[in-house]
A and B are shown apart, each in its own frame.
Chain A
């Protein structure tokens, strides 16, 4: 295991980290503050169980604004105009094949489009329409790339903060028990699904449902620890075997969600959120709330880890369980607490991800599982603050990938590639201690 760390080394690391975090928070905010506030614009289409969205981003070198797109299909004919970031979206209420055409007169000089595009639209999801644009715009479009980058950075920060909620727990579990828990992703999904059931089936008000959901998720952590992880640790089951137990649990939970709410996307709150526009940045009020709550909760967790007795005990167990036990720390109690708080945090992340990403699906957690692992590894396996830094970096990378002209489909792949590259040069992660790892 890792050698105990001196108080001095720790505070220095924490200070660097806080600096990094402050930077990550301040840069986009400064950019936002610098931009002039504009009138509130309507936010793009939001898919729901009854409606689907046709959308895309027009780009030929620069993003193309003010271009008209017309779409014809089973739901009739509709038109849309691309925004300053080149994005456009159209809501459809019928499934089927749609033909999308660009009104060529509205394209900037020197840009041509290759014929109409047909797309099979399904309800309850975003259906991306890809136009083949050739030529290069001279960049006179409004907003342009810098606006897109700022918007993406804010979305990235949002994703990063929500990932951090789940990643901190995953990292604490790894730190205190050595277990890479694959079912942590399903704990995230669980939050979204339970909140959906409470709000939509039982008619609870959202806030009450959210609090109950977090409590319930924390209870699942307590329960799992009591009937599964503690007895198995006592039994001396190897870590590889334990990891496979979490894979089995993850599989069982995923399909349990499908049995419960079906294989489609469900939304906790059906009303469209209120969009807020601030310069080039467009966010919903829900996103702002989610980011605020995440920051508050993460601060509380950080404070608890640094300043409270139990937090110190947790870090001690993370550093060296045998030594911690020898110095009178109740390791079992600490591990139980870690399981409870990790699953509760994951549940909270799940509720907010479901709000921000317009719904939750049986495999929503699975989608972000690797991002979580990437965040935890990037920051340094088993270090809670490392997970926080790692999550924010991963969130930014994921959302900024499309803004720098890479295909949007690759945004998760870029994050994983960065993880692999980092492991080659610094296998202990950003904040991990260089120890014996081979």
Chain B
């Protein structure tokens, strides 16, 4: 199967000497950076226009725009973005097919929330959540990382489901809350108490939230700060010798092995780091809501994949852009469908469902016509795991 895609890249590398190749790659990089800049600018301008419309006018369209903007800065959007950054280390940089990222999130959330309910200090609770996901990664990686890529895919998705089924076991209700889950009030307080934002409500443009509160400015601030930190972390990681090793493994495992690198160990490190980021995302995901096994199942994993491909795998900022667009575009589609299509054809609930249909179709079209996403480099995605 691999032959097909390898052929596609060949013309780029044939004939030209090393020098020509270098200038070509440099040009390509400049083109790509320009494109990325334009795409990012377009998104920012789009949001700015929505902001102006939402704050200066009233009516259906401005209110749709306001809800789009609100969904873009939701703490759960940030949480998913962190998980997407983790998946980017797996899939984008190393080529590991992890289809169980929601399982890592769920495990992190359980570890964190259960630790807090057992009176563990906040920092240690977070570490417990991360450690749980790392141990999970080790457990999954040991038998599968030496096998072909699709085995990791099957094992991760199955293991993520096992965690979900175990988490919602009625016998475990005293620990995990069973299928009802753990309500946020049981583990949220230590985090909320850290806030130095004080009481009261602040309104900025279309956003009006409590300064601290359950789902206010404080959690938004921390969540997006963490997204920023993760981006910086990934930036330095992938530019390190270790990061080049990752991409080397993605492109040609055998070549790396023949250079004397321990491919298995490096893949394992990537799996653990990406999984720990997933767990961090999971912790942020449940802080404003509750730990519920069913909210972090396969569907969430699929959303994470969509967001990653939308933004562009193997890029630094792609996961963040992809996640923001994924959630806000869906709200936009839902709002427009609700406003344009008369309720006799599609009622409110059906508009919501229809927006997901569009999301599914967008995912298909995206992978078919622009597999590298908005910011990605097509050449970096010419691999087959």
On A, residues with C-beta under 8 Å from B are: 1, 130, 178, 180, 232, 235-241, 243-245, 247-256, 258-259, 263, 366, 369-370, 373-374, 377, 381, 407, 409-410, 412-413, 416-417, 419-420, 423-424, 427, 437-438
Contact = CB atoms under 8 A, between A and B. Distances in A.
A258 B157 CA distance: 24
A396 to B, nearest CB: 18
Contact of B162 (A178, A381, A416): A416
B359 interface: yes
Contacts of B155: 420, 423
Contacts of B18: none
A423 B144 contact: yes
Interface of B: 1, 4-5, 7-8, 97, 143-144, 146-151, 153-155, 157-159, 161-162, 165-166, 168-171, 298, 302, 305-306, 309, 346, 349-350, 353-354, 356-364, 366-368, 371, 381-385
Contacts of B169: 407, 409-410
Contacts of A238: 4-5, 371, 381-384
11 contacts: A1-B1, A244-B367, A251-B359, A255-B357, A259-B357, A370-B161, A412-B161, A412-B165, A437-B148, A437-B151, A438-B147
A245 B151 contact: no
B97 A240 contact: yes
Contact of B360 (A252, A263, A377): A252
B166 A410 contact: yes
Given A247-B302, A423-B147, 15 more contacts: A238-B5, A238-B382, A238-B383, A239-B384, A240-B97, A248-B360, A252-B357, A259-B353, A259-B354, A369-B298, A410-B169, A412-B165, A413-B161, A423-B144, A437-B148
A248 B367 contact: yes
A253 B8 CA distance: 31
B168 A409 contact: yes
Contacts of B361: 248, 252
Contacts of B362: 248
Nearest to B6: A236
Contacts of B357: 251-252, 255-256, 259
Contacts of A373: 154, 157-158
B363 A247 contact: yes
A245 B384 contact: no
Contacts of B306: 247-248
Nearest to A179: B1
Contacts of B4: 236, 238
Contact of A407 (B171, B305, B366): B171
A417 B368 contact: no
A253 B360 contact: yes
Interface of B is mostly: helix
Contacts of A259: 346, 350, 353-354, 357
Nearest to B7: A236
Given A239-B384, A416-B161, A255 B360 contact: yes
Q: Which 9 A-B pairs have the closest CB atoms?
A: A252-B360, A248-B363, A251-B360, A248-B364, A255-B356, A413-B165, A416-B158, A236-B4, A258-B353
A370 B157 contact: yes
B147 A437 contact: yes
Contact of A409 (B157, B170, B366): B170
B305 A374 contact: no
Given A373-B154, A437-B147, A244 B166 contact: no
Contacts of A381: 150
A420 B152 CA distance: 10
B302 A251 contact: yes
A419 B363 contact: no
Contacts of A232: 368
B179 to A, nearest CB: 8
A424 B143 contact: yes
A180 B153 CA distance: 10
Contacts of B356: 251-252, 254-255
A427 B147 contact: yes
A427 B353 CA distance: 39
A434 B385 CA distance: 20
B151 to A, nearest CB: 6
Contacts of A255: 353-354, 356-357, 360
A333 to B, nearest CB: 20
A241 B371 contact: yes
Contacts of A410: 165-166, 169
Contacts of B153: 180, 243
B380 to A, nearest CB: 12
Nearest to A253: B360
A243 B366 CA distance: 13
B170 A407 contact: yes
B148 A417 contact: no
A437 B143 CA distance: 13
A244 B384 contact: no
B364 A239 contact: no
Given A409-B168, A419-B154, A247 B161 contact: no
